[in-house]
Copies of this chain bind each other. A is one copy, B any other.
Amino acid sequence: MRTSKSAGGRPRESRVDTAIAAAVTGVLAESGYAALTVDAVAARAGVSKATIYRRFATKQEMTFAVVLHDLDEAPPADTGTLEGDLGALIERIGEQLSRSGSDVMTGLLADIRADATLTERFTTTYLAVERSVIGELLDRAIARGDLTRRPDPAITQALLLGPLFAWIVVLDEDPARAPELARIVARMVSDALAAGVVPADPS
């Protein structure tokens, strides 16, 4: 569980990193996850395959880094209410899922689950960061007096992330409605947390 960031935030990207990221995004948008190869990305980015392999051991690592590391790790600005804070966070998650789409997210997730190293990295650099941000929003709500106790962060994460994930990745519904769904989820979950429907943090 990572709770702090190195001073200065994310490392500055070089022009090559930017070109690789743009090429991955471009190939995915035009041809889908199955068509994403290191060859295709190298050609589109105007770099050699060796340049890519110096950065990423596999196609999956490259995709993971570009698609999921784009996550903004900072908690959203304090909106003054738990519902507002949760809404800002889920809307951001919904945007990220919508940008990738069902094909990329299902393909990438399958590759992650089939590889222990990527699973570990996914857990520590994506899911744990997201959970830590949720924890900060809950602590804000406690400090504000909106909540009287800290709810279980694992359950809270599933309640927040799940509906957006289902909408975009499983149900393949219209991403244009994701912001509306994010607002509904924020209202529903903040009501449930205030009503004590979610058990207390066991840790």
Contacts and interface: CB of A to CB of B under 8 A. Distances in A.
Interface of A: 32-34, 102-103, 106-107, 109-114, 119, 123, 127, 154-155, 157-159, 161-167, 169-173, 180-181, 184-185, 187-189, 191-192, 195, 197-199
Q: Tell me whether chain A's interface is mostly helix, strand or loop, or mixed.
A: helix
B162 A166 contact: yes
Contacts of A172: 113, 119, 123
Given A154-B173, A184-B199, 12 more contacts: A155-B181, A155-B184, A158-B173, A158-B181, A159-B163, A162-B170, A180-B199, A184-B198, A187-B192, A188-B189, A191-B192, A191-B195
A187 B158 CA distance: 15
Nearest to A130: B171
A131 to B, nearest CB: 9
A171 B106 contact: no
A156 B109 CA distance: 24
Nearest to A154: B173
Contacts of A159: 163, 184-185, 188
A150 to B, nearest CB: 16
A188 B192 contact: yes
B173 A167 contact: no
- Of A114, A169, A170, A187, which is in contact with the most chain B CB atoms at under 10 Å from its CB? A170
A111 to B, nearest CB: 8
Contacts of A113: 102-103, 106-107, 172
